[in-house]
Structure 1
């Protein structure tokens, strides 16, 4: 199971890097979201993938049962998902507004504040 998750993380990172190298700002944004999801999946997998033993503490015990998944990475990933969604919503509106203002999504053409290059 861990091998499959590692291959999925690798594929997500490869796709994210491919998208982030594009000059299109919207593709960069999708690459950023993909790499964020890959990091979340990696952190989630580091907590242990045990479908038989949930990270719950039995009544009267002071620790989870042996072999149980770690609950801390699960809580961190849940928080990261919420923060990532907020970042994605804000960045999507920002990209849309930049497109309305400048009429392009090409990052090379978005040089409004920079002086023209003289040849």
Structure 2
């Protein structure tokens, strides 16, 4: 069993590493934003991303997409690029880890 101080240090290091991955920190401490796009014609309106978003930047689209389902879109003005939406979405290919405004319909 590790002494208490070592366990705390190890836990802090693990959390720091996880936060770095989620927030987009690169080695050397430089921060980079990781833009995301909801592909309107792939999204099926499940909305898990809406509930998971910490800043409520995911909005319902108007009408239906080519599949005939509701869809969501990401408001880039309020998005913090955390990537939670990408991790939580159950629809393969509905959210891309890149900025592609040509694939995302907005109102």
**Structures share a fold, TM > 0.5?**
no
Larger proportion of helix? 1
**Normalising to structure 2: TM-score of the pair?**
0.28
**Normalising to structure 1: TM-score of the pair?**
0.25
Ranked by relative contact order (alpha carbons within 8 Å, sequence separation 6 or more), the top structure is 2
Larger proportion of strand? 2
